[in-house]
Amino acid sequence: MGTKLWAIGLMVLCTIFTSVAQVFYKLGAARLSFSVISLITNLPLLTGMALYVLGAFIMIIAFKGGDVSVLYPIIATDYIWVSLMAAYFFNEALNLFKWTGVFLIIAGIVFIGLGSKEKEAVGYTEVV
pTM (predicted TM-score): 0.81
Q: pLDDT tens, position by position, for the chain (128 residues)?
A: 688 999 999 999 999 999 999 999 999 998 888 888 888 889 999 999 999 999 999 999 999 999 998 899 899 999 999 999 999 999 999 999 999 999 999 998 888 877 776 555 555 555 55
DSSP secondary structure string for all residues of the chain: -PPPHHHHHHHHHHHHHHHHHHHHHHHHHHH--SSHHHHHT-HHHHHHHHHHHHHHHHHHHHHTTS-HHHHGGGGGHHHHHHHHHHHHHH-----HHHHHHHHHHHHHHHHHHHHHHHHHHTT-----
